[in-house]
Amino acid sequence: SSSQVTYDHIFKIILIGDNGVGKSSFIRRFCEGSYVANMETTVGVDFYLSEIDINGKKIKVKIWDTAGSEKYMSISAVYYRKADGVVFVFDVTKPRSFTNIETIWMNAVDAPESGCPEAIKLLVGNKCDLPAEVDLSQAKRYAELHDMLFLEASAKNNHNVRECFLHLAREICELK
Ligand code: GDP
């Protein structure tokens, strides 16, 4: 068939955070509706596509996956380029993945040349189906300090995944 879908907007959203926090699982839960336990690191997949409706507007969301390159801190400027939204993801069972948001990932995003300082930000504590080792009230304070919303989520249990993308898309829409 040759049905053609037109969109009011196309948003680029990127997910940032340590290797293993669940970024790929999170994206696939949203875009494909599935969860694969013990998933191999995806290599070579650049982005996933989905569709969101905001106030009757058809939004196409292009979600970029780091495809394992964060392991080597080698995320290129291409990844950040013209991103409309950034999801900072940490693993609630791994305190280090939370402190790295501040010491590594926030700096990368805020870098004026190589980052995307204008993007709308969201902080996600993933794997909330497991007992948290991160002080989540501290995560909430950190988010408020950086003018972003904090949400606990679980790609595994499909908790707050769609809400994250809807929230970002709504905020981005308000700027367009
Ligand atoms: P990425 O490296 O950040 O893309 O992380 P992955 O999506 O590859 O996930 C790393 C591991 O964490 C995999 O074994 C996933 O099955 C697991 N995982 C991802 N999300 C969740 C979650 O919400 N809860 C639990 N318990 N495990 C998760």
| Substitution site in 16, 21, 23, 25 for ligand 1 pocket (most atoms within 8 Å of beta carbon) | 25
For residue 127, the model assigns a pLDDT of 98
Q: How many CB atoms lie within 10 A of CB 86?
A: 27
Res 68: pLDDT: 62
26-53 residues labelled b (16+ CB within 10 A) or e (exposed): bbbbbbeeebeeeeeeeeeeebbebebe
Q: Which pLDDT belongs to residue 40?
A: 62
Global pTM value: 0.92
User: Measuring CA to CA, how many Å separate 50 from each of 14, 63, 101, 106, 118?
Assistant: 13, 8, 26, 25, 22
- Is the CB of 95 inside a 6 Å radius of any atom of ligand 1? no
User: Which residue has the CA at smallest separation from atom 2 of ligand 1?
Assistant: 20
Rounded to 5 degrees, what angle do the CA atoms 168, 171, 175 make? Answer: 130
| Residue-level pLDDT at 79 | 85
39 Cβ closer than 6 Å to some ligand 1 atom: yes
Nearest to 118 by CA among 79, 80, 162: 80
Average pLDDT for runs of 10 along the chain of length 176: 75 93 93 74 70 91 79 73 96 97 94 93 98 98 96 98 96 90
CA distances from 155 to 6, 57, 96, 144 (A): 29, 26, 20, 23
- Per-residue pLDDT at 67: 65
Residues in CB range of 4: below 8 A, 6 or more apart: none
Euclidean distance between CA atoms 53 and 92, whole angstroms: 30
Residue 73: its pLDDT value, please?
Answer: 60
User: Helix or strand or coil: residue 70?
Assistant: helix
Query: What single-letter amino acid sits at 131?
Result: P
Q: Which atom of ligand 1 is nearest to the CA of 15?
A: 3
Q: Is ligand 1 within 6 A of the CB of residue 97?
A: no
**pLDDT number for residue 94:** 98
The Cα-based distances of 54 to 63, 84, 97 in angstroms read 17, 15, 32
- Residue spans of alpha helices (H) in 20-75: 23-32
